[in-house]
A and B are shown apart, each in its own frame.
Chain A
Amino acid sequence: QSALTQPASVSGSPGQSITISCTGTSSDIGDYNFVSWYQQHPGKAPKLIIYDVSNRPSGLSNRFSGSKSGNTASLTISGLQAEDEADYYCSSYTTTSPYVFGTGTKVTVL
């Protein structure tokens, strides 16, 4: 099972909105609504920020939102803040494995 494809980097200015894409196939994102997103700051464990395509864990900022169209899932961060600078990973259920992660995207706040 190959990793899901994400852009290596995305950047934006404080207050702006950015979107990170996560491209898979009809055997994963395209066929299942088990897409999740994780935020990882340097030296820290990943943190769940979106599950089941668009659900946020309790207490998480509504600046984070998720969606899916076809074989591509997306994470949007609105009102970008300095603390959002981190690596972001998507994950999906697949026909051959319960989890496959994306290649990861480094978000830089300019």
Chain B
Amino acid sequence: QVQLQESGPGLLKPSETLSLTCTVSGGSVSTYYWGWIRQPPGKGLEWIGYVLYTGSTNYNPSLRSRVTISIDTSKNQFSLKLSSVTAADTAVYYCARDGGGSSAYHFDYWGQGSLVTVSS
């Protein structure tokens, strides 16, 4: 059974860089696409971006200028960096796996989520 676990600081100040890591167990990051999704408190889901084991990435156009997603196959992890955060970036951040291949564009495994709060 594939399991994902987010880790990283839960409190940031405005203008700082958000950094989260997702550790995958029960499966290899060397297959499939691996994504980040966020959910502001009381609001809906927003796709942030994804990475393939090759390092190839795709980002939400609305966040592209501030987002970097990378992968470390040796550690079976992938990471999210979001620069110049503001209060609007306060959200629960989820990492998830895209089903991939002929059955892509849906997330079949999710982490439990990590709340990141941006406040001065």
User: How many residues in B have their beta carbons less than 8 Å from beta carbons of A?
Assistant: 22
The complex places the Cα of A57 from the Cα of B94 at a distance, in Å, of 20
CA distance A108 to B44 in the complex (A): 17
Q: Are A3 and B60 in contact (CB under 8 A)?
A: no
Interface digits, A69-107 against B, CB 8 Å rule (1 contact, 0 not)? 000000000000000000001011100111111111000
Binding site for B on A (CB under 8 A): 1, 3, 34, 36, 38, 44-48, 51-52, 55, 57, 89, 91-93, 96-104
B10 within 8 A of A: no
Residues of B that sit less than 8 Å from A by CB? 35, 37, 44-47, 50, 58, 60-61, 94, 99, 103-108, 110-113
Nearest-neighbour CB distance to chain A for B69, whole angstroms, equals 13
| A52-B103, A96-B61, A98-B58 as given contacts; A103 in contact with B44, CB under 8 Å | yes
Majority DSSP secondary structure for residues of A touching B: loop
Contact of A1 among B61, B105, B108, B113 (CB under 8 A): B61
Do A45 and B106 touch (CB < 8 A)? no
